[in-house]
Amino acid sequence: MSRLSRWSMQVAKVGRAAALPLAPALLVMLTPVAAAEPGLADEVEAPTVVAGSTEVSLHFGELVGGDNGGDWETRTEASYAYLSWWRPGIAATWRQNEGGTDLSGLAIENVFDFIPSRRWPVHFGAYAEYERNMGEGPDNIELKLLMQHLDGPLDLRFNIVTERETGDHSDNRWEIGYATQGAYRVSPAWRIGVQGFGDTGFDDQLGDIDDYAHYWGPFAQVRLASQREREVSLQFGFLAGSGHADADGQLRVQLEWSLNEDDDD
């Protein structure tokens, strides 16, 4: 064997030995991070902003059945509307998966009311959020186009949701989804309706509806207390999974306290 061949073999051995400690790190970098299922602690946003209103809410969603049954997400939010068209807020999200519970993100959120559209058949608004990832993953930007149609006791909402990662090792594609609900006020205290959350793909690869996860189902909302512009409400529902959903369904609960808030928000 020539001296050059022996030298090449030694270099290859050293290279393999040096690569072994880096293998776990490379595996983490190359393995895609599992995204949360649509729905869970999310809500269907309304575009209405009332100056001087305050809102504090707690959202909870748990997956039921399937390989990820028992995983849950909790999000708490607090916001105050300084102007009639802008309501900023802060939020914190916790997730439990694979047996662990972590504070997954801290966020700054904003709702913008397109006031001239209040006179239109469909009221428009926008939502913008920047979430700081409290783990090792990239941060997240989320944008929503908010739409609402009110007709007496009927309340129809539709959100177009786009989000993307930002920072080192982030996926620069925009993920696109939706959140929607139709509710009917059956009494001064009760509303019943249907909600749906789902993903539709990425900006460079919109797929067939069955290629992504969707959750749809009934919900109810009850006003627990109301006094001097203060209101406490409870919303609960169960959504069934379809498409490439990781669970058979999800249980959702939302508790909200508001001051000077619009009754249809």
Comparing C-alpha atoms, which of 250, 177, 180, 162 is closest to residue 211?
177
Determine the 3-state secondary structure of 4 from DSSP. helix
Q: What is the pLDDT of residues 59-74, one digit of tens each?
A: 999 999 988 899 999 9
Q: How many C-beta atoms surround the C-beta of residue 72 within 10 A? A: 17
Q: Residues with Cβ < 8 Å from 177, sequence gap 6 or more?
A: 38, 161, 162, 163, 197, 198, 199, 200, 212
Q: How far is CA 12 from CA 7, 21, 122, 134, 160, in A?
A: 9, 16, 66, 39, 52
Alpha-carbon gap, residue 206 to 175, rounded angstroms: 9
* Whether the Cβ atoms of residue 20 and residue 1 lie closer than 8 Å to each other: no
pTM of the prediction? 0.84
* Whether the Cβ atoms of residue 73 and residue 41 lie closer than 8 Å to each other: yes
Does 23 have pLDDT greater than 70? Answer: no
In which band, very low, low, confident or very high, does the pLDDT at 35 lie, cut at 50, 70 and 90? low
pLDDT of the residue at 260: 83
Alpha-carbon gap, residue 121 to 149, rounded angstroms: 6
Alpha-carbon gap, residue 189 to 224, rounded angstroms: 8
* Whether the Cβ atoms of residue 233 and residue 259 lie closer than 8 Å to each other: no
Alpha-carbon gap, residue 47 to 117, rounded angstroms: 10
Does 191 have pLDDT greater than 50? Answer: yes
Lowest model confidence (mean pLDDT) among 11-20, 33-42, 45-54, 210-219? 11-20
Alpha-carbon gap, residue 188 to 263, rounded angstroms: 10
Alpha-carbon gap, residue 87 to 261, rounded angstroms: 11
Q: What is the pLDDT of residues 81-92, one digit of tens each?
A: 999 999 999 999
Does 3 have pLDDT greater than 50? Answer: no
Beta strands in the chain (DSSP E): 54-64, 72-80, 86-97, 100-113, 123-133, 139-151, 154-166, 175-185, 190-202, 205-206, 213-227, 230-243, 249-259
Does 173 have pLDDT greater than 50? Answer: yes
Beta strands in 114-166 (DSSP E): 123-133, 139-151, 154-166
Domain ranges of the chain: 32-259
Q: How far is CA 250 from CA 163, 194, 196, 225, 245, in A?
A: 22, 14, 11, 27, 10
Given the candidates 3.40.50.720, 3.90.1310.10, 2.40.160.40, 2.70.70.10, the CATH classification of the domain at 32-259 is 2.40.160.40
Alpha-carbon gap, residue 35 to 138, rounded angstroms: 12
Q: What is the pLDDT of residues 231-252, one digit of tens each?
A: 999 999 999 999 999 999 999 9
Alpha-carbon gap, residue 151 to 222, rounded angstroms: 20
